[in-house]
Structure 1
């Protein structure tokens, strides 16, 4: 965080990206840093609502106070042009001023499906990957594996009728 570096945790759902991002955020809080955590779709909705309500500046100042911004679940919901541009400005404002952790479920080449604009997507990726640690999460979903193991191995106790 002192060097304003980013962390990109890429991978499929259920592979531990949010868990690690949350743990890093908690550790930063324990060390006295201000952290903000948003699901990306929720942040975009808040930004759009603030723009409509005339409070966008206030929301941006609140976000600006943090030293670490965690953006979870990028790639699940595509955005309209306005939402993409608002999110771009948040990330651009963070560039080289604070650390950002992002947990996308898409490879970089697929991000334009979320943002809908190739130039904006390229500029966004460029800012995020510069000074970034990129970790790829592979394997199957922990939640799916846990659910399947529960189905495959019935409880050890049974009820007779």
Structure 2
């Protein structure tokens, strides 16, 4: 590979041609150029997906390919497994709320849907709710709340994991409410929680704020309930036998 070819590819913003041009079979000039540019586009697209997955900041590599669907997951009437996995709810700017006991597969499903969204070229962000609250409070104290909120302008899907595992301060609750209110009908949310909506007063101190938040979340939402015990506990017990 000559330096001149590498420099020309860089100038033309051809990220991969200089690396792959010798590997492309040559039958004719037209065929060669088509195959070369097709591979350039494929590698660019592959890199974009990996960049989206990295930017999403998932906590693990779980995906839908190894998710165990079962009859204990109850779907609402307006959606089923296939329509959920199609991610049409993102196009419609609708929400998905996954409610059930810890260890029943909610976070795995949320992560899997988020990873597939990245593969479909959507901008995704994943947060443990407690961590998001910490970042919001810190941004507020440093007078950087406006710039923090701007981070989500081009985001299509936000995943809020473990809503209800830890209570929030009054300030944290209000900051989260403001953020979700701003996303209302503008973005899609996936929320996992171990608490039914009627119990969210445990984490949001103000009952009126809780009612307003729930109202916004469920207005355009598909609520899935996860019944039964913890998969993690059952798996641990089976290995202990």
For structure 2, which runs of at least 5 residues remain unmatched after alignment?
1-89
Q: Is residue 38 of structure 1 aligned with residue 122 of structure 2?
A: no
Give the TM-score of the pair, scaled to structure 1.
Answer: 0.93
User: Which residue of 1 is the match for residue 216 of structure 2?
Assistant: 127
1:85 to 168, 174, 190: 174
CA distance in 2, matches of 1:90, 1:25: 20
In angstroms, what is the RMSD of aligned CA positions? Answer: 0.7
Structure 1 range deviating more: 114-123 or 53-62: 53-62
User: Which residue of 2 is the match for residue 59 of structure 1?
Assistant: 148
CA drift of 1:64 comes to: 3.0
CA distance in 2, matches of 1:17, 1:90: 23
Structure 1 range deviating more: 57-66 or 71-80: 57-66
Name the count of aligned residue pairs: 152
User: Which residue of 1 is the match for residue 78 of structure 2?
Assistant: none
For structure 1, which runs of at least 5 residues remain unmatched after alignment?
153-161
CA distance in 2, matches of 1:63, 1:44: 15
CA distance in 2, matches of 1:148, 1:3: 42
Find the residue that maps to 2:151 and give its secondary structure.
helix
CA distance in 2, matches of 1:64, 1:110: 31
User: Which residue of 2 is the match for residue 74 of structure 1?
Assistant: 163
Deviations 1:120-154 (A, max 9, x none): 000000000011100000111111011111111xx
Q: Is residue 10 of structure 1 aligned with residue 99 of structure 2?
A: yes
Q: Is residue 112 of structure 1 aligned with residue 201 of structure 2?
A: yes
Moved over 2 A (4+): none
CA distance in 1, matches of 2:176, 2:194: 17
Rg comparison, structure with higher value: 2
Deviations 1:52-82 (A, max 9, x none): 1121111111123210010000001101110
CA distance in 1, matches of 2:152, 2:161: 15
Q: Which structure dedicates a bigger proportion of its chain to strand?
A: 1
Choose between structure 1 and 2 for higher RCO, CA contacts under 8 A separated by at least 6 residues: 1
Deviations 1:28-59 (A, max 9, x none): 11011100100000000000001111211111
User: Which residue of 1 is the match for residue 236 of structure 2?
Assistant: 147
